[in-house]
Amino acid sequence: EIVWTQSPATLSMAPGERATLSCRASQSVSSNLAWYQQKSGQAPRLLIYDASNRATGIPARFSGSGSGTDFTLTISSLEPEDFAVYYCQYWETFGPGTKVDIK
Partner 1 sequence: EVQLVESGGGLVQPGRSLRLSCAASGFTLGDYAMHWVRQAPGKGLEWVSGISWDSGSIGYADSVKGRFTISRDNAKNSLYLQMNSLSAEDMALYYCAKALGGGSGHPLYGMDVWGQGTTVTVSS
Residues that bind partner 1 (CB under 8 A): 32, 34, 36, 38, 42-46, 49-50, 55-56, 87, 89, 91-97
Closer of 19 and 98 to partner 1 (Cβ): 98
Distance CA 103, CA 101 (A): 6
Rounded to the nearest whole angstrom, what is the least distance from the CB of residue 70 to partner 1 in the complex?
Answer: 19
Distance CA 103, CA 92 (A): 33
Closer of 14 and 99 to partner 1 (Cβ): 99
Rounded to the nearest whole angstrom, what is the least distance from the CB of residue 83 to partner 1 in the complex?
Answer: 17
Please report, for residues 8, 40, 69, 94, 98, the alpha-carbon distance to residue 3 in angstroms, rounded to integers and kept in the order given.
16, 26, 10, 10, 16
Closer of 18 and 39 to partner 1 (Cβ): 39
